[in-house]
C-alpha cells in the first residue's frame, strides 16, 4: 500500500476516501479487493461511522477495502460491483437499527433519513442486515459473510421485536451470516481478516472473542478454548421455544446474558466471560460469546493515535465519490 503524509506529519495510509466504484479501485492499482463493506448509511469518512473507522483500520493493516453504500437490494448485482472479494463481505445495517430508522414509536413511516443524502427515505430495506447478507450469499456463494453493527448486535439472541410485537429468534439464523461480530468490532474484525488472509477457515473464526455463530443440529458444542488459549465455561440459555412460550424463561435468558455482559472487576480482568448457547428448534443452535469476554482495550493497533489512521483532516470535505451527510454538515 502506498503511504502518504497525514495530518500528524507521519507516514500513513492514503487519506483519499475508500473506493466506492470499480473505477476508484482500479485507480489505486488494485486488481481485486479483500473486503467489501456493505452499509445502509451514506459513506462519511469520519470515525463516528463504523464503516469508515473499521475500513481505515483494515487499510492501515494493508488490506484492500471497498465501500458498498446503500446498495439497491432488489437484486444481487450491486454486490458484484467490485468482483469477488478475496476475504469476506462485512455487512451492517448502519449506525441505526433499520426499523428504528424507518418508523416512529407509533409505527408510522418517518419523513426523512438522517443517514442518507438529502434526508431521502427508502434507500435501505426493513431489517437491512437480513437483506444485505442474503444478497451477498446470492452474489458469491462461498465468500464468508461477517455481520455486525447495532442491528445485528442487539438481535444476536432471541429478542422481543417491537415492530411485529413478538419474540424473534437470533438474527444469525435468518441472515445466514457465517459469523456475527457484536459490540465494538475493531479487534475482532482485524483478527478475522488476519485469519482469512492466512488461509484460515470460517470454522477458525468461532474461537474468537466477541462473535456469535450458528451451529448445525448435529455439531457438538464447542470445547470452550478460545483462540488465545483461554478456557471459558459454556452457559446454556433457555431455548427459543421456551422464551417464546414463557415470559419467565425470556426474563431468565435476558438476566443470564446481561450478567455475562456486566461482569465484575475480577471477571473483567481475566476476560473470561462464559460462552452462551441457546437452542432454536431442531435445525440449529446459535452460539454467542458474552461481550464481557471480548478484549476492547485500546492501543496503537486499535486507535492509530490522533483521530484514527488515515482520516483526512477536512472531515466534511468529501471527494466526489463520497456521499455527503447533511445531518452533520453544521459541525
* Higher per-residue confidence, 317 vs 324: 324
Give, in order, the Cα–Cα distances in Å from 192 to each of 27, 177, 197.
27, 14, 8
Question: What is the DSSP secondary structure assignment for residue 222, as one 8-state letter?
Answer: P
> pLDDT (tens digit, 9 = 90+) per residue, 169-213?
999 989 989 999 988 889 999 999 999 999 999 999 988 888 999
Roughly how many angstroms between the first and final C-alpha of the chain, as a whole number?
Answer: 32
> What's the mean pLDDT in 90-111?
91
Q: What pLDDT, on a 0 to 100 scale, did the predictor assign at position 26?
A: 95
Q: What pLDDT, on a 0 to 100 scale, did the predictor assign at position 273?
A: 62
Of the listed ranges 88-92, 261-265, 275-279, 326-330, the least confidently predicted one is 326-330
Q: Residue 296 — very low, low, confident or very high, per pLDDT cuts 50/70/90? A: very low
> What's the mean pLDDT in 24-40?
95
Residue 27 pLDDT exceeds 60: yes
Q: Residue 122 — very low, low, confident or very high, per pLDDT cuts 50/70/90? A: confident
Distance CA 27, CA 286 (A): 42
Residue 309 pLDDT exceeds 50: no
Q: Residue 327 — very low, low, confident or very high, per pLDDT cuts 50/70/90? A: very low
Q: How, if at all, do strands 65-69 and 35-39 pair?
A: parallel
Q: What pLDDT, on a 0 to 100 scale, did the predictor assign at position 266?
A: 52
Residues of CATH 3.40.50.280 domain(s) within the chain? 8-205
> pLDDT (tens digit, 9 = 90+) per residue, 140-156?
999 999 999 999 999 99
Burial of 228 (0-12, 13-18, 19+ CB in 10 A): exposed
Q: Residue 312 — very low, low, confident or very high, per pLDDT cuts 50/70/90? A: very low
Instruction: Give the CATH class of 8-205.
Output: alpha beta
Provide the whole-model pTM.
0.79
Amino acid at each position: 500500500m502506498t503511504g502518504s503524509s497525514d495530518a500528524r506529519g507521519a507516514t500513513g495510509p492514503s487519506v483519499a476516501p475508500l473506493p466506492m466504484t470499480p473505477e476508484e479501485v482500479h485507480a489505486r492499482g488494485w486488481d481485486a479487493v479483500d473486503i467489501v463493506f456493505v452499509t445502509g448509511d451514506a459513506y462519511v469518512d469520519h470515525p463516528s461511522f463504523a464503516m469508515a473507522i473499521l475500513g481505515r483500520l483494515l487499510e492501515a493493516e494493508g488490506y484492500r477495502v471497498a465501500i458498498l453504500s446503500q446498495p439497491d437490494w432488489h437484486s444481487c448485482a450491486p454486490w458484484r460491483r467490485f468482483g469477488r472479494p478475496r476475504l469476506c463481505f462485512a455487512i451492517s445495517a448502519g449506525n441505526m437499527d433499520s426499523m428504528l430508522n424507518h418508523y416512529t414509536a407509533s409505527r408510522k413511516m418517518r419523513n426523512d433519513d438522517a443517514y442518507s443524502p438529502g434526508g431521502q427515505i427508502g434507500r435501505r430495506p426493513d431489517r437491512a442486515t437480513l437483506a444485505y447478507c442474503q444478497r451477498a450469499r446470492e452474489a458469491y456463494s462461498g465468500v464468508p459473510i461477517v455481520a455486525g453493527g447495532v442491528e445485528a448486535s442487539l438481535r444476536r439472541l432471541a429478542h422481543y421485536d417491537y415492530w411485529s410485537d413478538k419474540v424473534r429468534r437470533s438474527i444469525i439464523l435468518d441472515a445466514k451470516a457465517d459469523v456475527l461480530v457484536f459490540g465494538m468490532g475493531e479487534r475482532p474484525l482485524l483478527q478475522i481478516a488476519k485469519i482469512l488472509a492466512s488461509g484460515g477457515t470460517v470454522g477458525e473464526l468461532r474461537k474468537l472473542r466477541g462473535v456469535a455463530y450458528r451451529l448445525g443440529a448435529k455439531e457438538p458444542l464447542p470445547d470452550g478454548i478460545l483462540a488465545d488459549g483461554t478456557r471459558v465455561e459454556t452457559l446454556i440459555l433457555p431455548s427459543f421455544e421456551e422464551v417464546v412460550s414463557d415470559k419467565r424463561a425470556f426474563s431468565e435468558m435476558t438476566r443470564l446474558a446481561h450478567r455475562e455482559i456486566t461482569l465484575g472487576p475480577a471477571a473483567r480482568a481475566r476476560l473470561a466471560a462464559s460462552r452462551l448457547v441457546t437452542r432454536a428448534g431442531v435445525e440449529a443452535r446459535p452460539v454467542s460469546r458474552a461481550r464481557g469476554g471480548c478484549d476492547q482495550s485500546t492501543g496503537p493497533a486499535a486507535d492509530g493515535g490522533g483521530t484514527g489512521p488515515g482520516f483526512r483532516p477536512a472531515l466534511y470535505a468529501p471527494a466526489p465519490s463520497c456521499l455527503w451527510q447533511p445531518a452533520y454538515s453544521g459541525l
